[in-house]
Amino acid sequence: MEKLILEVTSLCVQFGSFKAVNNVSMKVSAGDKIAILGPNGAGKTSLFNAITGMTLPTQGTVSMGGVAITRASPNRRAELGIARTFQITNLFFGLTVEENLLLAARGLQRRKFSLFSSATLPISEEELVESVLERCHLLTKRHWLVKEISYGEQRQLELAMSLTSSPKVLLLDEPAAGLSPAERVVMSDVIKSLPKDLAIVLIEHDIDLALNLVDRVICMYQGGVLVEGKPDEIRGNKKVQEIYLGKPRNA
């Protein structure tokens, strides 16, 4: 049995009278690949925000490696091994791909960093950058300005930046959003190539893509968990078909 890394227990996030997340519990172990599905407004991103510290829950707990982080800062959670990408890219478009990666890596280490402070990277950083660039299919673009690469490559870069902290849990918020069919294939290949012991939790509206990347699915509806199961079980679930697809499977 794999080691439990992240645990969410009876989590609620409420804005006024509206419950964005309603009594959600989830256990994530090393190597887990989990998809969180649901229509807009189901509470998926609000759940991610509560896990990463962007929003504090009104009820429930979050723990990482047995350490309570319910009220911890986003930086503290990152230090403990939680990394996240967002629906909208958050990049420095006037810098190179490599410089964006270095800012991500050194930012977590809380070191002062000038892009022009040294002409030569420390070998450990050089190896880290090359490894992440190769894994995310960006090695040939390392010296390109971010504004010069395609949107699909920008999404790959955002994922690459999240890997520089060597996370234990990676939260991917709609990694394929806005991508062309060809770019979706590349993104899927990148995600499949990530370390086997890295736990991945992803939100994705492309149901087929999501179900092909994970071994467990949590379907949310109106802030709560509607159903949880393996991809094949979710594909055949009538409630999921009606609520998320809008029609019966054989209609």
Residue, of 28 and 87, whose pLDDT is higher: 28
* 117-156 confidence digits (pLDDT tens): 444 555 477 788 899 999 999 999 999 999 999 999 999 9
Q: Does the pLDDT at position 226 exceed 90?
A: yes
pLDDT attached to residue 251:
43
Q: Does the pLDDT at position 78 exceed 60?
A: yes
CA distance 217 to 215: 7
Which band of pLDDT confidence, cut at 50, 70 and 90, is reported for residue 104?
confident
The strand pair at 59-64 and 67-68 is best described as: antiparallel
Domain with CATH 3.40.50.300 in the chain: 1-81+168-251
User: Which residues face 147 on adjacent strands?
Assistant: none
Fold held by 1-81+168-251:
Rossmann fold (3.40.50)
Q: Does the pLDDT at position 112 exceed 80?
A: no
As a whole number, mean pLDDT of residues 31-44 equals: 95
Starting from the edge strand earliest in sequence, which strands make up the sheet with 67-68, in order?
A: 18-29, 4-15, 59-64, 67-68
Which band of pLDDT confidence, cut at 50, 70 and 90, is reported for residue 249?
very low
For tokens 């990694």, the residue is 175
pLDDT attached to residue 74:
93
User: Which residues face 217 on adjacent strands?
Assistant: 35, 229
**Contact indicator for 107, 92 with CB cutoff of 8 Å:** no
Phi, then psi, of 158 in degrees rounded to 5 = -60, -40
* 144-202 confidence digits (pLDDT tens): 999 999 999 999 999 999 999 889 999 999 999 999 999 999 999 999 999 999 999 99
